């Protein structure tokens, strides 16, 4: 079997750049969506908020500072080619080191605490990052990464619906979750939805959905239609930019699905703020 050797330092440097870039330079998909929202927004306050967000992203990219002070918790979905061998280090540690260097050298906020309940002491380098790895065939490493702020993460929810709930039940849970979040998660939001799998699979799908560009659609026409329908319904809620009223409460609804059990229909809704930072790379 032919193997491909990759130095651990290459992984570290790639991950570092990924996280610095995603924090300084908002994605084209998000910027375009914000500009479109600014054009359609009917509330003068909402229009003004969107103008300020666009200006904010310009300042951030020019000065290479983060678009938002909450530079989030680092999440990576990795597709690891089975012909790759890491030299001079381990993959896991190389990734953590990349995150560590991005947050320290890149002036990103360190927002991770060591223990969730008792200590809550800041780890001072934003590690550990959360890494989901799947082994695929090939000699490449593909990384899809995001940094997730918790203003919106806290507004997320999961429900173990059962099959009789049907599509109406799915819609209701998603809309109820967005409604409950209201003005808190920095609208206009990106709504990541995971349907199917098991309890944790649905949540992971929802997270992955928030990392999909908002100008893409689910390849299954039925889910693509559902994405559009939900976006329309959400934008009728009136929360608007910054929750100060308006017709742009969301800039995208992304649905990801997976086969599930005969008895179940889990639905997870991961809400993301308008600074939906995501980036993809291949080594």
Partner 1 sequence: MKKINLPLTDDVINELKAGDSVLITGSMITGRDAAHKRLYELIEKGEELPVNIKGEVIYYVGPAPAKPGHAVGPAGPTSSYRMDKYTPALLDRGLKGMIGKGARNQEVIDSMIKNNVVYFAAIGGAAALISKSIKKVEVLAYEDLGTEAIYRFEVEDFPAIVAIDSHGNSVLAK
For partner 1, the closer CB: 43 or 133: 43
Among 120, 137, 221, 259, binds partner 1 (CB under 8 A): 120
- Told to check if 175 binds partner 1 by CB under 8 A, we report no
Sign of CA dihedral 206, 112, 31, 178: positive
Q: Exposed/middle/buried for 69, CB within 10 Å: 0-12, 13-18, 19+?
A: exposed
- Told to check if 243 binds partner 1 by CB under 8 A, we report yes
For partner 1, the closer CB: 109 or 142: 109
Residue from 23, 105, 34 nearest 64 by CA: 23
Minimum distance, C-beta of residue 234 to partner 1, in the bound complex (Å)? 12
Among 59, 136, 167, 225, binds partner 1 (CB under 8 A): 59
- Told to check if 40 binds partner 1 by CB under 8 A, we report no
Site size for partner 1 (CB under 8 A): 46
Residues in CB range of 267: below 8 A, 6 or more apart: 158, 159, 161, 170, 173, 174, 193, 194, 195, 202
- Told to check if 88 binds partner 1 by CB under 8 A, we report no
Among 17, 83, 110, 171, binds partner 1 (CB under 8 A): 110
- Told to check if 52 binds partner 1 by CB under 8 A, we report yes
- H helices of 41-118, where? 44-63, 91-105
Answer whether 124's CB lies under 8 Å from 69's CB. Answer: no
Minimum distance, C-beta of residue 30 to partner 1, in the bound complex (Å)? 11
- Told to check if 42 binds partner 1 by CB under 8 A, we report no
- Could you tell me the strand order of the sheet in which 73-81 lies? 130-136, 73-81, 141-148, 278-282
Q: Rounded to an integer, what distance in angstroms lies between the CA atom of residue 213 and that of residue 211?
A: 6
Among 17, 109, 142, 201, binds partner 1 (CB under 8 A): 109
Residues in CB range of 99: below 8 A, 6 or more apart: 15, 16, 19, 74, 125, 126, 127, 129
Interface with partner 1 in residues 184-213 (CB under 8 A): 184-186
- Told to check if 250 binds partner 1 by CB under 8 A, we report no
Chain contacts with partner 1 (rule: CB under 8 A):
45, 48-49, 52-53, 55-57, 59-60, 63-71, 107-111, 120, 122, 124, 151, 154, 182-186, 237-240, 242-246, 273-275
């Amino acid at each position: 079997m032919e193997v491909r050797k990759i130095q651990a330092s290459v992984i570290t440097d790639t991950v570092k750049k990924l996280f610095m870039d995603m924090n300084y330079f908002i994605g084209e998909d998000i910027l375009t969506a914000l500009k479109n929202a600014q054009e359609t927004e009917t509330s003068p306050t909402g229009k003004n908020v969107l103008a300020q967000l666009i200006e904010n992203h310009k300042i951030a990219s020019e000065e290479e500072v983060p678009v938002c002070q909450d530079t989030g918790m680092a999440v990576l979905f990795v597709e690891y080619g089975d012909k790759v061998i890491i030299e001079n280090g381990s993959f896991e540690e190389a990734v953590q080191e990349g995150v560590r260097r991005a947050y320290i050298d890149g002036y990103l906020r360190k927002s991770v605490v060591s223990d969730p309940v008792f200590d809550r002491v800041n780890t001072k380098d934003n590690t550990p990052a959360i890494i989901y790895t799947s082994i695929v065939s090939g000699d490449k490493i593909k990384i899809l990464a995001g940094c997730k702020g918790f203003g919106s993460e806290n507004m997320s929810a999961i429900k173990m619906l059962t099959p009789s709930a049907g599509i109406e039940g799915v819609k209701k849970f998603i809309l109820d979750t967005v409604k409950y979040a209201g003005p808190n998660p920095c609208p206009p939001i990106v709504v990541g939805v995971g349907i199917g799998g098991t309890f944790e699979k649905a949540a992971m799908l929802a997270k992955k959905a928030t990392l999909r560009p908002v100008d893409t659609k689910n390849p299954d026409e039925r889910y693509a239609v559902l994405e559009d329908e939900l976006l329309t319904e959400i934008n009728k809620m009136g929360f608007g930019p910054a929750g100060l009223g308006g017709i742009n409460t969301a800039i995208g609804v992304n649905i990801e699905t997976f086969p599930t059990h005969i008895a179940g229909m889990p639905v997870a809704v991961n809400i993301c703020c308008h600074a939906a930072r995501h980036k993809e790379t291949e080594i």
